[in-house]
A and B are shown apart, each in its own frame.
Chain A
Amino acid sequence: DTGVSQDPRHKITKRGQNVTFRCDPISEHNRLYWYRQTLGQGPEFLTYFQNEAQLEKSRLLSDRFSAERPKGSFSTLEIQRTEQGDSAMYLCASSPPGSNEQFFGPGTRLTVL
């Protein structure tokens, strides 16, 4: 079984553009989490899905951010009208039923110029 995968690994965009990231969780993992990590900090929670339902959103998730998990498998995170402050590593994690352990993907490094 492969681990969590994320695509792309790196994204460079100009301020004001929209970007979309994809996360494929480990097979059979029903919970999926998105985090953001900036330099020198630990990951910070953005949002969480159980199957296809988005159950929690952090106040960090401004209205320019939207996440979906339409079929309860892969998830996408879209950032509209990107700002320089959005530059960060965006991490996805998944968790199997009945477990508190979260397994992270390699992340997508976003740079907004």
Chain B
Amino acid sequence: GQQLNQSPQSMFIQEGEDVSMNCTSSSIFNTWLWYKQDPGEGPVLLIALYKAGELTSNGRLTAQFGITRKDSFLNISASIPSDVGIYFCAGRGSQGNLIFGKGTKLSVKP
């Protein structure tokens, strides 16, 4: 079946740093979505991507839909403390459902 691999699994940030994470798939997707989830809450949609090569921004967040349609990247510029949480990529499956990665956990450096 379709699987998504997210990396890194976790990372520590210092306020002001830029952050990059990515997601790769064993198969092609026509839609990629990025979500952020805080503890005990549902995922919140950050960015949706619909075309291979597309680069889309939402404030300090920028995401790209890979040319091969098997990967996507999310960058966060000038991170702030409220950026901590778990970031999930998701590809839209043939049934209309979303297939999620295992997430990248962002924490603040001690």
Contacts and interface: CB of A to CB of B under 8 A. Distances in A.
Classify chain B: how many residues form its interface, as a range: 20 to 34
Interface of A: 4, 6, 31, 33, 35, 40-45, 48, 55-56, 58, 91, 93, 100-107, 109
Interface of B: 4, 31, 33, 35, 40-45, 48, 50, 88, 90, 92-93, 95-103
Contacts of B100: 41-44
A106 B101 contact: no
B103 A107 contact: no
Contacts of A42: 4, 88, 90, 100-103
Given A35-B98, A41-B103, A45-B99, 8 more contacts: A6-B42, A40-B102, A43-B98, A43-B100, A45-B98, A100-B31, A104-B35, A104-B42
A28 B17 CA distance: 40
B102 A102 contact: no
A100 B32 CA distance: 9
